[in-house]
Amino acid sequence: MDRSELARLSTRGPAAPLASLLPSAFLPEPAPAAAPLTGRPARESDGRRLALLVPSAAEFPRAVADRLQVKLFDRGVRVAVEALPPEALAARLASGDYDLALVSAHFAASSPALAAVEAAFALGGAASARRALSRLGSADPASVAAEIAADAGAVPLFASGLRASARPGLAGLVAAPDGAVDLGDLWTLPARGGR
């Protein structure tokens, strides 16, 4: 499976395949290029269909889930995509009650250690984040992130940047003198006539 292809499908903005759980911006030295994902040839299917959990949020790149479904079908694995609201998805991830899941980790931290905790929280909830915090006392963030990925059975796919489209309901869009925009300053106005 080509992670570069998944990165292209993920967003209209910049995206790059990941070689580790943390994006290269958090690593002290450049991460190696992400190798294509390979696996053993598929055995005869037992007819069971696996569920691929995805967030039901409108901004989620559904094209990625669809592409994974096609690629897995080509390898003899039948997959049904199941979209869940954020709370239900988080509960299923924390309980381990899933076959496959596409999980987005949003990194608000600029520290590699805190980014590792954010990734752990996205993959397994508060308990996973607490375990990651306890590991950070004796190990570097990159190795903790590798342990988190191994514990969760996570395969990093791609990283993409946040983006916003200028439209009438978007407020707070102010460019700094260098032309940069802080996406944390943006907010949307409620729709007219709505509650």
Q: To which H or E segment does residue 116 belong?
A: helix 112-136
Report the C-alpha gap between 1 and 6 in whole angstroms: 9
The answer to whether the Cα torsion of 8, 125, 111, 180 is positive or negative is positive
pLDDT at 21: 86
By C-alpha distance, which of 171, 165, 120, 166 is closest to 141? 120
Averaged in consecutive runs of 10 residues, what is the pLDDT profile of the chain (195 residues)? 79 79 76 52 60 80 84 90 89 87 80 87 88 86 87 86 71 72 72 57
DSSP output for 130-172 = HHHHHHHTTS-HHHHHHHHHHHHT----EEE-------TTEE-
Angle between helices 112-136 and 141-152 (to 10 degrees): 70
Separation of CA 101 from chain center? 10
Torsions phi, psi of 55, nearest 5?
-70, 145
pLDDT at 142: 85
Cβ-count burial of 11 within 10 angstroms (0-12 exposed, 13-18 middle, 19+ buried)? middle
Separation of CA 78 from chain center? 22
Entry pTM: 0.69
pLDDT at 52: 92
> What domains does the chain contain, in order, with CATH numbers?
3-163 (3.10.105.10), 166-195 (no CATH)
68, two tokens: 């994974």
